[in-house]
Each structure stands twice: as C-alpha cells, then as structure tokens.
Structure 1
Amino acid sequence: MKNYSRLFVSLLIMLSFISISSLAINANSSLNLKDGNFQIVVSGHEVEPVKLAVATLSKDFEKVMHYKPEISQRADNAKGIDIVVVNESTDDLLIDKLLLRSLDGFESHRIYCDVLKRRIYIHGKDMRGTIYALYTFSEQFLEVPALWYFSSWEPQYKKQVMISSDFDYYQKSPQVRYRAWFPNDTDLFEPWRKLSKENDELWLETMLRLKLNTVELEATVTYPDYKLNSRAALLRKYGLILTSHHHVACNNNLMNWEGYWRTVRKMEPPKLLLSDEESLREFWQYSIETVCRDKQENLWQISFRGINDQPFWAAFSDAPETDKERAEVINRMIRIQLDMIKEATGEKDPFVRMTFYDELSDLLAKDYLQPPTGENMLWTFVAGRRDHYPYDDLVAFDTKKQVKLGYYMNLQFTSTGAHLAPAEGPWKMEFNYRYVNTRGPLTFSVVNAGNLREFVMEMAANARMMWDMQLYDTDSFLLDFCTQYFGKKHAAKVAKLYHDYYYAYWQQKPSAFPNMERQFIFQDLRYSRVFDQIGKRFQDFSPNPLYDIGFERIPGRTFRIDGNNQVDSLIAGMERAVFRFGEVSRRCEDLLKQLPCQDQRFFRDNLAAPCHYMEALSRSLYHFVLAYKNTDERVENLDAAIRQLEEARDTLYATQEGVFATWYTGDSFNGKFNIPAKLKLLYKLRKEI
C-alpha cells in the first residue's frame, strides 16, 4: 500500500513539474511572453554595440509591456523563457552551435524559437546582423517602428507577446554592402542635437533599426594625439562604419592643413604647393595613422580637392591651367593616397572609394581622370548637381572596368534643392539607383538628407531598396510604410497623397534623361533664391532677372527655367503649383480628421504640413513676382506675398511639438532658407512703396 502511495505522489510531482515547465507554452505551441516570465540572455564577452542594442530592446519591452526584462549572461530555463542573443562572431556563444539555424554572409540575421527548450533565438552572423535581429524582433513583436523617435510614436500596451513555434524570420546578406546617410547642411539639426543626449544620438539608433550601416562625415581627424573626433566615437559606440565626404581625403581635408603644422609640428604651415609633395604626404600619413590607431571601422575615401568644396586649383598657386593637366595631378595624388592606405593597413585590396563630384565628374566624363581600379575599389558617382539624375560620367562609364560602383544622391541640396520640405521622392530615388545598378554592381550608397526630419520617409525607402533591390518596389514600400504608420484602413489613401504631393511640384523644364519623370523640379531653396535675387533689383525690371550662383560650372544650372522669359515662366509655374498643392492639401486636411489620434501628428508633420507650406510658399512667390512685373498692382501683390509667406511659416512652426518643440530655431539664424529674412525683405520692399 505504501508503494502505491509513493508511486501516486511521484506521479503528482512529475505532473506538477511538467505543468510548471509548460506554463509558457500555449495550446497552439507558442511561447507566450508575460510580465516576469522571460529574460534576455547575452554573452558577457559580447561587443559593446550589441550590448547597447540589447539594453534598447529591454527598454522597448518596458515601453510596450510595462515590464523591463532582466539581462542575464546565463540561459536558465527554470526562470521561464530565454531570449537568447547569438552573435556568431563572438567567441562565447553560450549555446551549442548545433542548435542554431544557418545564416548567409555578412549582416545576415534570423529570429526563431524552440518551444521545447523555451528559447527564442535572436541570431546574427556578425555584430550588425545581431543588432538588426534585435531591432527586427522589436518591430515584429512589440510593434516599435524604426522611425519611432521621428514619428511621435505612442506605445500601445501589450499584456503579452506570443511567438509561434513555426515563426522563422530570415534575412540574407544585403545587396549593397555600404548603406550610408550623410547629415549635411544641418542648420536645423545641429541646434536641436545639442538640446539632449537623445537628440544627439537616437538618429544613429534609427539608422540601425532601418538596417543602414554607414555614416558619411566631414573631416574627423584631430590633433595632436592621433584621435578621431567625438562624432566618429559615436559611430563606434553604435557599431556603425565611418566614411568621408567627397572633399575629404584619408578622413581629413585641407581646411585642417594649418592646424596640423601648428599643433602637431609646432611650425608655420608650408604653402600649399603641388611641388611640395613631401609635405602633402606627411599630412596624409598622420591622418591615415590616426584612423588605424583609433580602430574605427572605416571605408576609406581618396580625394584631391581644394580647401573647401572646390577644385584643388583654387587652393594651389602652382596648379596647371588645362583640364587634362589638372586631371593628371589628381591621378597622381590619389594613387599616392591609395598606396599609403595599403601600406598602413597591410591590406592588399582594402575597400576604398572615390567620389566624382562636380569638377571630378566633368574630368571623368572627358576621360582625363583615371581613378584606380581593383576588386574593392568603389567608384562613387554623383547624381547631376542641383537636379538628381544619372550624370554624363556614369552614362559614359566603361562597364568592363574592374570596379564596384557607389552612388551619392541628394534628397536635399545646399543651395537650390529641397530643404524645409521634401521634394525628390522615392520614385526618383528608385529610378536613379536602378540605372546605376545596370552599369555595374552597386556596393555603396549615400543619401544626403541634411536635417533628417523632413526626409525620413524617403530615407526609409532608400534603406529598404539598398538591402534588396530585386524585391524593392516604391509603390509596395509606400503602402507598407503607410500601413505601419497610419493604419491599414487608410494606408492606400495616404500613399496616394504622398504620390500626388511630390508630383505637385512645378517641373520648370521637360525631362531630358530617357524615361525619367520629374528630372527637373522647382524645390523650395530655388524659391528662396528667386526671392533674394529679384529682391535685390526690385525697382529694375527685367524679364530675366535670375542669375547663376557662384561655383556654377554649367551655365543655367542654378534654376533651369525653360523658355526665354523667366518672369512669365515663374508666374505660370507658380499658378500651376498653387492649384496642385492646394488640391492635395485639402485632401490631407480631410483625411487628417479620419486618422486615429496617435497617427495624426506624424501625418501632419511629414505630409500635410509640407504640402500646405508649399502651397502657401507658391502663392507668396506668385504674388511677389507679379508685384515685380506689374507696378500698378504692386501694393496688393506685396501684401498678398507677405500674408502667404507668413502662412507658410506658421504652417511649419505649428509642427513644433514634443521633442521637436524648437526644431525651426536654426532657420532664424543664418538658416539655408531663413523665412524670417525673406519676410524682412518683403516688409522692407512694402515700406518703400
């Protein structure tokens, strides 16, 4: 009898144990994450950028589930479910490799679960693959979008998160190895970054959530102790690759020439002379050694340009006069830099890029420039300056050359492009990159998006395309984007509004590149230039008052207004733009009222407000040019121009909420557009009448 009692008790204990161990497994054979029943497991030997992403995932759980899971270095089933973070490039994997599913090459990643072992695997081939897997898990199961910081996202509480036993998310290696952002002309972004640690850094987290991997910066070499600057240090913190701007060679440029000689060498700087090659070599050697000592993952850039964004012959007094001779100088200098990089790194064929910007593009198109070739040499072509289309050097490129290709595209532009409102659009971006990919294997991409906030949708499209160009389609991407940020019910309508917004821009000249739409469009900084240039000669009428800005190598490129009467073309173009932007703006306002409250702010900030801004800005320029042409109605038109520009300003400033409460502060202090300065001009002209 005692034996039967003991057997019965033993069976009860066993059943109890089975019941406890199966608490996290539901009837559908899933793992069910609840408050307190799971932990995140990561090796103590893991690299710091992965640890940072793990900590961020833990915070994401806290936002969504109101529970912050423990981060442990040991898998312990007794505590419930283990979310095991696996980086194949880390020595200590914590678990048997036989338990892992296969991956592709660099940056590939996977998420899957083992219900019996009560484990979820967040698995990357290398450091960034692991980081991408962590953020993919957050997006898939916690519904934290990549643009959460820029989209005013509000967490929706989840009591539990279920992962099915058959869930297996797999992402193979990206097609484009280096996928970069270039924050340039940051008149709004820089003052905002200084306000908080989050503003300063979270754009880098955003890049990783979008699965980008490279940041292009200006010169990062400092003196005198062989260190890169704090901007480069942030990239290392997040696990991102550093590359350099097109007037930067070996992570430094000639703007820092005097600093090297005075700070490091304690001497008066030698003059910039082509004949003094020894001094140039010494300058580059310090820069190369700085990068190597800093152990920052770096995509080298070779270049020979001037002190700023200008040709070298503007800085060297002994520069030759002809294009062919100038190209020969560049050919010699970039080969010296490449040889020095190879010697310092010990690599026979390191990844190195050269960017063909402005004068370099022209010299290459003439076949005077002969850049180095090689298996890992990246020839980086640049979209046509001021307007964005494949330029002559890319069209003429000999596809038999042993090089890989890169492409640099402005989603904004310093002096004549989009700035306070997006203008190029994802369709134009896709056309450009598809063309490049027909000329050779695309290995590097960088988009210049300056202040970032205005261009996050376009940058997200670029990130998606660069991972897998074969699967990417802009219309499909945009529908996915709108579904994620504005809900499935309204996604198709919002996607159509995005399309119609971009196509509302005045196309001041017919497209010339085969099969390309919207090759030439009138972005808001072109509006700004018109205000400035006509304002300077407001009492002196001319049908063609506009002129090219400085450093314009191709006549007529600044505005590209078709026809022989700029004033009449502007009036007719603005009339069309007002109608088109106005129609889309009204549809935006109607839809805004139908969206859920949590989606309204991002819709307003990223689409409705820019559209209303461009409508009001177009009305203002329309009346301003009419006032310039027609003296009889000058007062009425100037008054209307002022009212409409004030409305354009107020539309943008109304989006200043939350973390973006001071976003337009930089526009008032030497901003690239500078709405206050334009209003001051109009007030002055009105007062003089």
Structure 2
Amino acid sequence: MLRLTKNVNGLNQQRTVKSMKNYSRLFLLHLIALFGVSIPSLAIDTNSSLKLQKGNFKILLSKNEMEPVKLAAKTLCKDFEKVMHYKPEIFQNTDDTQQIDIVIINEAVDNPLFQSRFIRPLDGFESHRVYCSPEEKRIYLHGKDMRGAIYAIYTFSELFLGVPPLWYFCSWEPQYKKQVEIKSSFDYFKKSPQVRYRAWFPNDTDLFKPWRRLSKENDELWLETMLRLKLNTVELEATVTYPDYKLNSQAALLRKYGLVLTSHHHVACNNNLMNWAGYWRKVRGVEPPELLLSNEKALIEFWQYSIETVCRNKQENLWQIAFRGVNDQPFWAAFSDAPKDDKERADIINRMIRIQLAMIKKATGEEDPFVRMTFYDELSDLLAKGYLQPPTGKNMLWTFVAGRRDHYPYDDLVSFDTTKQVKLGYYMNLQFTSTGAHLAPAEGPWKMEANYRYVNTRGPLTFSVVNAGNLREFVMEMSANARMMWDMQAYNTDSFLIDFCSQYFGQKYAEEVAKLYHDYYYAYWQQKPSEFPGMERQFIFQDLRYSRVFDQIGKRFSDFSPNPLYDIGFERVPGRSFRIDGNNQVDSLIAGMKKTAVRFEEVSQRCENLLKRLPKQDQRFFRDNLAAPCHYMAALSHSLYHFVSAYKEKESSKRAENLDIAIRRLEEARDALYDTQEGVFSTWYAGDSADGKFNIPAKLKLLRELRNKI
C-alpha cells in the first residue's frame, strides 16, 4: 500500500493508492486519466480496426499549413522511423491508392481535407482530437488551431508509437513495432486547457547553456518536449536586437516551433535597461542619455522601438509591462533621481506601466491585448502595502510570485482584492538562482499543486510559469505542472505520479517508484516550521543553501560564531536567505544535517535495490532523475554535517578528521551526479565550474585548503 501526502486548498489530506490487481482494468483507467478518452469510446469492436504497416499508409497535410505544424508532421515521420523502421511520406492531397491516410487538420488554415462529412467537432483554442474513420480508411489528427494540430500529432505518437514526451531526456529506447493498430471506434478528445498560457522559464543555465551549444538537437529539442507535454509559452530575457528591428535567435526558435514568447519580470516590452546604451549608440548613433526619471521622453522612445520590433516580426507574444532597474533590481537602484519614499516610488511605477500599456494597445490595434505584470520582490511588497496600482481589464494578467527563497503564496496574493477585473498568473520556482534547488530537485509536485490550488481560489488562473533552471533536473516536476495546467479540476499529484512512473518505469514498478519519489522529497531538512496555513514543507533546505553555508563559513573558518551566516545581497526581508529556526545556526545545522542525511541515505539504498530489478531500458532514467539526486543529497548532507562540526570543533585532530570526512563525502556527492554523464548528456556537468551556481570543484578546493592549514 502506498501512502502519499498531499495538500489541496490549504488542507492536508492523505490519499491511499491501492495495489494494482488487474492490469487491463488499471490500464483502462490510466488511459482515461492520461488522455481524456471518454468511456464510450473505449467500447471497441475488436474485429474492426486500421492496421498501419510498412508502405501501406501516408500522411496528408494541406499545402497551406503553418510551418510549425509541418515541422511536427516531419517529426512524426521520424517517430515512425524509430519505431517501425519505416518513414512515411507526406502528401498535400489524397489519391485513389489503397493506402491508409493519416490526415492532419488545423482548422485555422484553408484545408480541402476539412470538408469530409466524417470530421468531428472540437472545443475552443488548442483543443484537439485523434480519431479513426474506417469508412474512409483515415486517421484524423485534428486541431482547432496551429497548436491544437501539433498536440494531436504528438498525442498520436505517444499513444500508438509509444514515444514519451520526455524521450530526449529519459534515454528512451524505441521498441520495434511491425504493425500499429488503431481500433475503428477510437476517439481521443481534449477540450481547451484551463490555463491559457503555460510556460517554462529556463534560468540559471550554467549547465544547459554550454550543453545546448553542442548540437542542433540539444539546442532545440527541449521546445519539442514542451509541445509533447502540451505547454505553449517560453519566458525569456530581453529578445530585442539592434539596429534592424529584429528579435534574437531564441525568439526565432519559438516561432519555428509555434510557441508563444513572454518576458522575464525585469523586462518591459521585450527589452530591458541593460540594453539602454546599445539602443542609443547602434540605432540613434549618439551617446546614451543618463538614466533619469526626468528623461521620460527617452524612455518612451526606447520602449517604442522595442514594441515595434515585436510587431514587425509578427511574433506571438504575451506582453509584459514593468519598470525595474538595469538588472533584476528595483528601479531606484538605477535612477539617481528616484524618490526615497515607497509611496512615491510606487507612483512612478504606476505611471510608467500605464504609458507602456497605452503604447502596446496603439501598436497592436487591440483594445484588450493579453498583457501581464509580474509582482516580483519589491513590486510584491509595494502591492501588498496598497501603493502599487496595476492596470485592470479583462485580459490583464496580474502575475503573482511564490514567496522568494521559499515557494508559497505571498502576502500580496493573500490580500488580493478578488473583485478586481483581472485574470491571474503565477510564477513558481522549481529551482532558484541563489538559495534554492539547483543540481537536485527539491520542491516537488505536491508543493507545486498546493501553490496553484491556492492561486486558483483567488481568481481565474490564466498564466503559469515555472522557473525550470537547467531543465534536466526538473523534468518530472515540470511534467506534473504541464498536466495540472491543462485541467486543474481533474489533476491529482498522486494519480499523476503513478501515471508518470507507469510510463517511464513500467506498470509493475510504478507504485514502488512513486513511493520513492515521495520519500525523496520529504527527506529534505525542514529548517523552520511552516507558517502558511495548511502548507507542508513551506521551508526546506535546498542544495544551493548548502552551497552558501560552505562559502560563508569557509570565509571565517578560524573565527567561530554560533551564528556565522548572513543574508545575501538584495535581501529585502531579514533572515530570509536561510530561515534557520532557533538562535544557534551552527547547532541547528548539525542537528538538521544529521537527521536529513539518514533519511536521504535510507531512500538512496531503496533506490539502489530497485534499480537492479528494473528493466534495463528504464534503469538510466531512474538513476538520473531519482537515484543519483538522492545519493547526491545524502552525501552532501553528510559532508555539510562534518564541515560544520569541524568549524565548531576546537581540537585540531578532531577538526582535521571531520574535514577529511567532509571532503570524502563531497567527492561522493560529486561522483553520484557526474557518473550520470553518458549518451547525449556526456558533458552535462561541464558548466559546474568557474561560474557554476553550485561549483562542486570550488567547494572541494575550499575544504582541501582548510584541511591543509591544520
């Protein structure tokens, strides 16, 4: 029996997932939950079906089709080639052959294939359907619009070719199929998603960025993965370039795949003030004017170029309005004539964002374009105080941010006036730049669900973005988020996890793997009791907090203090960087690491035992996504325990002994991760040095230098 703790609408509940007794019955239920297939559609006449075999089928696609749909169709052909060792051709019209037609329909384009009387109805935007029409010898992959068609294509590939959404990340090995059979009554139908914009934000890409440069596949296939998961938006930094009204290559990739572009929270109108000087020198040929509030006309000109650039490129764009500093900081850090008073500062922001909104409306010709504003850090504080007055409107998205450092609904969302005419967005970190998860996942899908459940009680959720870091470490959590954002009412983390584990590790082991995932996340040290009502694991000690402890204590290793840790830069709330409960940080760390190391070690051992029993084709992803991070956190916790113990120890021999163990355990933590480098990820940790966010080599160097001084 598997017991998974879950948080829904602020209430702690426990759901019991019973042991699976009947394989076919469970598969049926999972098919309903996973793919939205109605029960009547599963009443299949086993004597009637279309059988795809080498050479007996082709793909039909309108000559008017959009380029991203064409790309997805070509990818489907590659999927067939991997699985059936046969690559079908794509045709623009039908003929009189006896071949089976796989017909791709996008209702947003003129398509003569759409005239058939066998076409079935769809819902609104992005809805899609996969169904069989035996009378015509056709299989329809049918979408309401461009992305609906793309989702239909990848749905077919997943259901009938067995290509999982995370195939590039999970070391998937194709299972050869001589024949693919589609029952005549098969009808998969997916209504429009609840959350209109469902985004990833790759951030802190110290590992991802150098890996992307290695190949075209590495650079692009994460976008294909998003579409297979049925996401539709990517959040990027500034994408406007100079001097020719072009967007950068990252935005061009989004257009290629049919994804929406949106911007980071310190980016206004797809640009930010880091590019201020470039505009004036490269576009205007003059030296940049000083950043002053009194230079409002210069700011407007800067924003105007940026807005025109997006419009000229016909980029599908979810606009962001903002007024912040040169980097991820308040505007008053960059403008020398900024006021000192919070109310006056908020008044400036209120004025600037309304100017930007009016410019966007004029440039697009839309009275109510979808526009978002993100309440990050200082903006969240000003909103909670009632000073910030963002615009309202039927398509205005107020994007709230999970509390900084630790991820839970913050004060501005709690105090939000639900009578305002706005839609809601939510930004949640699955990793965090300076104090959160980085080399190993930590937040977990239960905490993700609890956050979004709360947001959805405050207003209609229309936008979601998860900060996904380097991506590879967080693919399970991101998959959970993708599922939830499509249909929050139907989503349940426990059920999702069983489905996920069934798909990637096999039906036989799904329950056992799901329990290991749960126990891994709950092994993290909770260094402070939760304060938000009903929120489990509100405060946890992620691996970048470990990294900060190594760095900060290492700098004063010969100068003992029971409270050696200090807040990092730009910290607006005292004590938020570590949130260690009690009045003695050192003793709390030693006690916390002792407990959490044992918990991680126990789960790690269970992972190793299961790893030997899993089918060979599933072992690598299990190791990479769960076993290795668990072993890493166990060894890392032991290392920090002995490092802090050495710091507290006065006797030289015992101090040296603790440092020796800390070094050995940190090497073990490194090896647990670095040993996962094979296949397309053979150089994954090349970026974990120099400017790496954790930088294990630098931590080992620090410990060895301290040891050599004794």
Give the structure-2-normalised TM-score.
0.93
Q: Does 1:90 align with 2:109?
A: yes
- On the 8 A contact 1:141/1:161 being kept in 2, the answer is yes
Letter in 1 for 2:701: K
Partner Cα separation in structure 1 for residue 310 and residue 89 of structure 2 = 37
- On the 8 A contact 1:353/1:378 being kept in 2, the answer is yes
How many residues matched?
Answer: 665
Partner Cα separation in structure 2 for residue 406 and residue 433 of structure 1 = 10
- On the 8 A contact 1:76/1:82 being kept in 2, the answer is no
Partner Cα separation in structure 2 for residue 77 and residue 685 of structure 1 = 79
Partner Cα separation in structure 2 for residue 199 and residue 68 of structure 1 = 23
Change (3 A) 1:644 1:77: farther
Q: Deviations over 1:177-216 (max 9, x none)?
A: 0000000110000000000000000000000000000000
Bigger radius of gyration = 1
Q: Secondary structure at the match of 1:354?
A: strand
Q: Secondary structure at the match of 1:28?
A: coil
2:544 pairs, out of 525, 531, 537, with: 525
> 2:571 maps to which residue?
552
2:498 pairs, out of 472, 476, 479, with: 479
> 1:373 maps to which residue?
392
Partner Cα separation in structure 1 for residue 46 and residue 546 of structure 2 = 63
Q: Secondary structure at the match of 2:437?
A: coil
Higher relative CO (Cα under 8 Å, sequence separation at least 6) belongs to 2
Q: Secondary structure at the match of 1:668?
A: coil
1:680 pairs, out of 672, 681, 701, with: 701
Partner Cα separation in structure 2 for residue 213 and residue 93 of structure 1 = 27
Unaligned runs of 5+ residues in structure 1 are 1-24
Q: Does 1:634 align with 2:655?
A: yes
Letter in 2 for 1:241: V
Q: Deviations over 1:228-255 (max 9, x none)?
A: 0000000000000000000000000000
> 1:657 maps to which residue?
678
Q: Secondary structure at the match of 1:242?
A: strand
Partner Cα separation in structure 2 for residue 77 and residue 637 of structure 1 = 79
Partner Cα separation in structure 1 for residue 114 and residue 289 of structure 2 = 59
- On the 8 A contact 2:143/2:152 being kept in 1, the answer is yes
Q: Once the 2 structures are TM-superposed, how far is the Cα of residue 631 of structure 1 from its aligned partner?
A: 2.3
> 1:142 maps to which residue?
161
Q: Once the 2 structures are TM-superposed, how far is the Cα of residue 44 of structure 1 from its aligned partner?
A: 1.1
Q: Once the 2 structures are TM-superposed, how far is the Cα of residue 27 of structure 1 from its aligned partner?
A: 7.0
Structure 1 runs, 4 residues or longer, greater than 4 Å off: none
* 1:169-568 map, 5 Å: 169-568=188-587
Partner Cα separation in structure 2 for residue 93 and residue 682 of structure 1 = 69
Partner Cα separation in structure 2 for residue 401 and residue 655 of structure 1 = 49
Q: Does 1:152 align with 2:171?
A: yes
Change (3 A) 1:26 1:161: farther
- On the 8 A contact 1:483/1:490 being kept in 2, the answer is yes
2:692 pairs, out of 668, 671, 688, with: 671
- On the 8 A contact 1:179/1:463 being kept in 2, the answer is yes
Q: Secondary structure at the match of 1:381?
A: strand
- On the 8 A contact 2:45/2:184 being kept in 1, the answer is no
Letter in 2 for 1:602: F
Q: Once the 2 structures are TM-superposed, how far is the Cα of residue 97 of structure 1 from its aligned partner?
A: 4.8
Letter in 2 for 1:678: K
Partner Cα separation in structure 2 for residue 77 and residue 525 of structure 1 = 63
Partner Cα separation in structure 2 for residue 273 and residue 646 of structure 1 = 50
Letter in 2 for 1:161: V
Select between 110-119 and 355-364 the one with higher mean Cα deviation. Answer: 110-119
Letter in 2 for 1:68: K
Partner Cα separation in structure 2 for residue 248 and residue 199 of structure 1 = 26
Q: Secondary structure at the match of 1:546?
A: coil
Q: Once the 2 structures are TM-superposed, how far is the Cα of residue 116 of structure 1 from its aligned partner?
A: 1.7
> 2:665 maps to which residue?
644
Letter in 2 for 1:514: P
Q: Deviations over 1:321-375 (max 9, x none)?
A: 0000000000000000000000000000000000000000000000000000000
- On the 8 A contact 1:184/1:451 being kept in 2, the answer is yes
Q: Deviations over 1:541-594 (max 9, x none)?
A: 000000000000000000000000000000000001111000000000000000
Q: Secondary structure at the match of 2:97?
A: helix
Q: Secondary structure at the match of 1:227?
A: coil
Change (3 A) 1:379 1:93: farther
- On the 8 A contact 1:77/1:118 being kept in 2, the answer is no
Partner Cα separation in structure 2 for residue 362 and residue 97 of structure 1 = 57
Partner Cα separation in structure 2 for residue 578 and residue 247 of structure 1 = 38
Unaligned runs of 5+ residues in structure 2 are 1-43
Letter in 2 for 1:340: M
Letter in 2 for 1:681: L
Q: Secondary structure at the match of 2:693?
A: coil
- On the 8 A contact 1:87/1:93 being kept in 2, the answer is no
Q: Deviations over 1:611-665 (max 9, x none)?
A: 0000000000000000000122101000000000000001100000000000000
Letter in 2 for 1:397: F
Q: Secondary structure at the match of 2:453?
A: helix
Q: Once the 2 structures are TM-superposed, how far is the Cα of residue 93 of structure 1 from its aligned partner?
A: 3.6
Q: Deviations over 1:35-61 (max 9, x none)?
A: 110001001110000000000000000
Partner Cα separation in structure 1 for residue 285 and residue 541 of structure 2 = 50
Partner Cα separation in structure 2 for residue 240 and residue 457 of structure 1 = 21
> 1:76 maps to which residue?
95
Q: Once the 2 structures are TM-superposed, how far is the Cα of residue 384 of structure 1 from its aligned partner?
A: 0.1
Letter in 2 for 1:668: S
Partner Cα separation in structure 2 for residue 469 and residue 415 of structure 1 = 30
Letter in 2 for 1:175: Q
- On the 8 A contact 1:585/1:612 being kept in 2, the answer is yes
Letter in 1 for 2:146: M
Q: Deviations over 1:90-122 (max 9, x none)?
A: 112424153210000000000001112100000
Partner Cα separation in structure 2 for residue 384 and residue 495 of structure 1 = 28
> 1:19 maps to which residue?
none
Give the structure-1-normalised TM-score.
0.96
Q: Once the 2 structures are TM-superposed, how far is the Cα of residue 160 of structure 1 from its aligned partner?
A: 0.3
1:110 pairs, out of 115, 123, 129, with: 129
- On the 8 A contact 2:45/2:185 being kept in 1, the answer is no
Q: Once the 2 structures are TM-superposed, how far is the Cα of residue 403 of structure 1 from its aligned partner?
A: 0.0
Identity of aligned pairs, percent?
Answer: 81
* 1:561-640 map, 5 Å: 561-632=580-651, 633-640=654-661
> 1:7 maps to which residue?
none
Q: Once the 2 structures are TM-superposed, how far is the Cα of residue 26 of structure 1 from its aligned partner?
A: 10
Q: Secondary structure at the match of 2:288?
A: coil
Change (3 A) 1:447 1:93: farther
> 1:17 maps to which residue?
none
- On the 8 A contact 2:46/2:183 being kept in 1, the answer is no
Q: Secondary structure at the match of 2:64?
A: coil
Letter in 1 for 2:505: F
- On the 8 A contact 1:193/1:200 being kept in 2, the answer is yes
Partner Cα separation in structure 1 for residue 112 and residue 387 of structure 2 = 53
Partner Cα separation in structure 1 for residue 94 and residue 258 of structure 2 = 25
